[in-house]
Amino acid sequence: MQNGCVSSHDDEHFAGSCRGRLLVATPPLADPNFDRTVVYMLEHTPDGAVGVVLNRPTEESTPDEIDRWGAWLTAPSVLFYGGPVEPDALIALGRMHSDIDDGWTRVVGDLGSVDLTGDPGILAAGVTAMRVFRGYSGWGPMQLDDELGEGTWMVFAAESGDVFASDPAALWREVVRRQGGRTAWLANAPDDLSMN
Please check the confidence at residue 184 and state whether its pLDDT lies above 90. no
Task: Give the model's pLDDT for residue 158.
Answer: 96
Segment 32-82, tens digit of pLDDT:
889 999 999 999 999 999 999 999 999 887 777 788 888 889 999 899 999
| Rounded Cα gap, residues 135 and 119, in angstroms | 22
Segment 7-25, tens digit of pLDDT:
333 434 456 799 999 999 9
Write down the pTM of the prediction.
0.88
Length of the chain equals: 196
Q: What is the mean pLDDT of residues 155-172?
A: 95
Helix (H) or strand (E) holding 183: helix 181-185
**Helix and strand element counts for the chain (H, E):** 4, 9
Please check the confidence at residue 90 and state whether its pLDDT lies above 60. yes
What are the beta bridge partners of residue 93? 113, 131
Q: Which fold has domain 21-195?
A: VC0467-like (3.40.1740)
Averaged pLDDT score across all residues of the chain: 85
